[in-house]
């Protein structure tokens, strides 16, 4: 009796064929190319290659090679260093100090010098105070650079800002000054300067000095605001308004709160340098030194008087 034919399992045949192919691929040999890094001093890094012996596979399949490249960088590239020969001079660019923001690289050198040397420094000389008051009044018509460029001319016309000499100006003198084109001041400003010099003499007789009068509004101690930004700097304050009101009651002219506050800033009665400006701390140090020296000068006559009394 014949047996029926066995059914063909196509899936089993597929697995058998696929298995043989997989064995052939598995037995193939592979070789790798290893990239090494060689360091050559002072000439950067170079790369070279060497072939390793191909690995022996499993089975009797023919050998095959597969090239793979591996790259690597050992560390970061160093920037070249600049070597200065022995004995050579090294010149470094000068460091620009930090100033108030209204002083820029395009500012007039005269204005920069005024900011670095005078503006905000405490002034206790009556002539100097009178000069700064006059210059602050001129700000209503001129700018600081224009005023500072003509400062020597102002000193010559007003006898080095001697209030006693200016108080003696007559109508003829004022007319001559008015005719001078270089003076750059209007007639009301000229008349105000002459009248203020006369009133200043009266203040000196009453208070001992114009310095005592001005610094009395801040108890003889400079006001330190320490603003960080220009927008925080005021154009007038309550102390400036108080001084302005008293000056006008005494007969001074053109001394509004804005003019008076500009005068207080320039004469160091108020330290309005920005806190980031190098002159902010310098002016404070100068103020402390001046205050200490003035105290010593004030105490000296008292000590001499006590010494003379003890001797008697």
Residues at the annotated binding site for Zn(2+)?
100, 115, 273, 277
What is the C-alpha separation between 273 and 100, in angstroms, rounded? 6
| Residue 27 φ then ψ, to 5° | -80, -5
Q: What is the Cα–Cα distance from 298 to 290, expressed in whole angstroms?
A: 12
| Of 49, 55, 44, residue with least CA distance to 69 | 49
What is the spatial distance between Cα 238 and Cα 242, in angstroms, rounded to a whole number?
6
Alpha-carbon distance values, 196 to 161, 170, 218, 247, 252 (Å): 12, 14, 22, 9, 5
- Asked if residue 56 lies in contact with residue 26, where contact means CB atoms within 8 angstroms, the answer is no
Following CA atoms 207, 212, 215, 216 in sequence, which dihedral angle do they give, to the nearest 10 degrees? Answer: -40
- As a whole number of angstroms, the distance between CA 150 and CA 144 comes to 10
Alpha-carbon distances, residue 213 vs 123, 128, 232, 247, 304 (angstroms): 13, 14, 28, 10, 27
Q: Which residues contact 225 (CB under 8 A, 6 or more apart)?
A: 232, 233, 270, 271, 272
Structure tokens at 134: 């006059």
User: Known binding site: residues?
Assistant: 100, 115, 273, 277
Listed residue (268, 194, 270) closest to 236, CA to CA: 270
Q: Is 48 helix (H, G, I), strand (E, B) or coil?
A: strand
**Which stretch of DSSP H or E encloses residue 11?**
helix 10-26
């Amino acid at each position: 009796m014949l047996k029926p034919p066995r059914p063909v399992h196509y899936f089993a045949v597929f697995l058998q064929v696929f298995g043989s192919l997989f064995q052939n691929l598995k037995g193939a040999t592979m070789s790798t190319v290893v990239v090494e890094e060689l360091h050559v001093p002072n000439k950067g890094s170079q790369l070279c290659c060497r072939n390793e012996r191909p690995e022996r596979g499993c089975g009797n399949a023919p050998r095959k090679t597969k090239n793979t490249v591996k790259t690597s960088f050992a560390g970061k590239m160093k920037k070249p260093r600049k070597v200065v020969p022995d004995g050579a001079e090294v010149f470094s660019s000068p460091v620009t100090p930090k100033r108030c923001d209204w002083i820029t690289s395009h500012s007039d050198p005269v204005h920069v010098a005024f900011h670095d040397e005078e503006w905000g420094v405490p002034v206790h000389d009556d002539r100097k105070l009178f000069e700064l008051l006059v210059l602050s009044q001129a700000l209503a018509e001129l700018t600081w650079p224009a005023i500072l460029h003509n400062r020597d001319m102002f000193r010559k016309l007003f006898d080095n800002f001697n209030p006693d000499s200016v108080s003696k100006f007559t109508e003829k003198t004022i007319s001559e000054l008015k005719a001078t084109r270089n003076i750059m001041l209007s007639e009301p400003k000229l008349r105000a300067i002459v009248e203020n010099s006369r009133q200043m003499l009266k203040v000196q007789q009453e208070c001992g000095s114009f310095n005592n009068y001005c610094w009395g509004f801040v108890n003889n101690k400079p006001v330190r605001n320490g603003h960080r930004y220009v927008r925080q700097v005021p154009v007038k304050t309550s102390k400036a308004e108080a001084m302005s009101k008293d000056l006008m009651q005494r007969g001074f002219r053109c001394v509004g709160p804005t003019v008076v506050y500009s005068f207080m800033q320039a004469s160091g009665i108020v330290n309005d340098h920005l806190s980031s400006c190098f002159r902010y701390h310098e002016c404070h140090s100068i103020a402390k030194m001046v205050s200490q020296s003035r105290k010593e000068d004030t105490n000296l006559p008292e000590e001499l008087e006590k010494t003379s009394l003890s001797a008697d």
